[in-house]
Amino acid sequence: MSLRASSSSILRSGIAAGATRGAAATLPLRSGAVALPRHATLPRARAPAAPRSFSTTTRRAEEYESPFGINSLSKLTEEEEMLRDAVRRFAEDVVAPRVEAMDEAEKMDPAVIKGLFEQGLMGIETDPEFGGAGGSFTSAIIVIEELAKVDASVSVLCDVHNTLVDTVMRKYASKELQEKYLPQLSESKLGSFCLSEPASGSDAFAMKTSCKKSDDGKHWIINGSKMWITNSAEADFFIVFAQGDPSKGYKGISAFAVEREHGIEIAKKEKKLGIKASSTCTVNFDEIKIPIGNLIGEEGKGYKIAIEILNEGRVGIGAQMIGLAQGAYDKAVRYAFERKQFGKPVASFQGMQFQMAQALTDIEAARMLVYNAARLKEEGRPFTKQAAMAKLFSSQVAQRVAGQAIEWAGGQGFTREMGLSKYWCDSKIGAIYEGTSNIQLQTIFKLSQAEMGL
């Protein structure tokens, strides 16, 4: 398979099995995407009684049955393997040549965003009825991981759009909002998730952004500012959380679907240590008026949406971190086999081999935590603790491995030209966004305490 014009998209041809409802899928053509064999069909489920891996229906734990029986966590379906291979080629062929320029300019190349949409990677779990692929949550995790091996900035752009924005719209938005926005989010409009504020970070529900109904009852009016908002410079669609009644505390918060055309102002763009090509801006709302029907879910239930959705987002950040760690490891180890000291490759020294072996073990352990959390989520089982563990540990591994990778490459690793320093700078954000490491530790302890009945 190769990249070429007038070929089939990754997801719509490779994993849209959920749309076939068991029938063989003929692969459609789409411009600018990774090709699959022209007359290829997707395999039927091997165990008819088991749910398809790419079903959009979440089954209760007691109903879930693996289509393969008992497996390792790294076991992927044939469609998931196809997806991994295709995204890896897209990342290497389309993203990799642009990474250095994007990082230096601190700006996402529009061609990369366009390519993500063309490949069907921006509506991974969205039902085909709304232009998506109907894929599984693990499919999204695979995409995020593979993109992060090449560039964490591109990975987080795709991650936030899929695991936060798309998921909120799929799970909580009205049918009317879904019909209006999900096709756009699958095909062309980048999404942004507006929760954090200058004085509202880990304490997310101390927000000051306000919302109220207009006098005629036909609109919501939003005022305030959000800070540290990912994708905001390029986004056309925003999910905004606002406080409607401070006396109710977190129970006064609601969520809204807001378009850039409603009058959103994108203000200061942050200059960051890492993920520089990913835009992180202040977003201002000055008497923004939106239709009354753009409320997502129930009034005053925005806090529930935020809490539940961030659990999924943390698994996505975990995937980003393991992809980043693997990318740094692969680049440094290859260089260590090329670079010679004392007449032999640096990688041939036992001290180096031990460090590399430990790093690889750490990456694999982090990957298992991430995949376990993803599979638990798909099975309809509790996964909040596992999501916190996955994010916490994978961010620690990413920082450690990316730092070691620089050392393995010596002076060359310290230069920006080689690209290892970018992995290290990018890794630090994993301990901060979508819940700091201390918040994850607190979550893990509290849930474990409850499980022990203490």
- Give the active site residues: 434
Q: Do 149 and 327 form a contact (C-beta atoms < 8 A)?
A: yes
CA neighbours closer than 13 Å in the CB half-sphere of residue 71? 14
CA 175 to chain centre: 24
Q: Do 151 and 99 form a contact (C-beta atoms < 8 A)?
A: yes
DSSP letter assigned to residue 2: -
Structure tokens at 109: 């190349």
Q: Do 242 and 211 form a contact (C-beta atoms < 8 A)?
A: yes
Question: How far is the C-alpha of 34 from the C-alpha of 37, rounded, in Å?
Answer: 10
Residue type for position 378: E
Question: How far is the C-alpha of 182 from the C-alpha of 227, rounded, in Å?
Answer: 25
Q: What is the CA radius of gyration of the chain?
A: 22
Look at the block and give the residue holding tokens 């040549």.
97
Strands 191-194 and 237-243: parallel
Please list the alpha-helical segments (H only) found in 268-409. 302-338, 350-378, 384-408
Residue type for position 324: L
Question: How far is the C-alpha of 440 from the C-alpha of 124, rounded, in Å?
Answer: 26
DSSP letter assigned to residue 64: -
Question: How far is the C-alpha of 442 from the C-alpha of 160, rounded, in Å?
Answer: 23
Return the SS3 of 227: strand
Between the alpha carbon of residue 162 and those of residues 138, 169, 304, 418, 454, the distances in Å are 12, 10, 19, 30, 37
Question: How far is the C-alpha of 142 from the C-alpha of 14, rounded, in Å?
Answer: 13
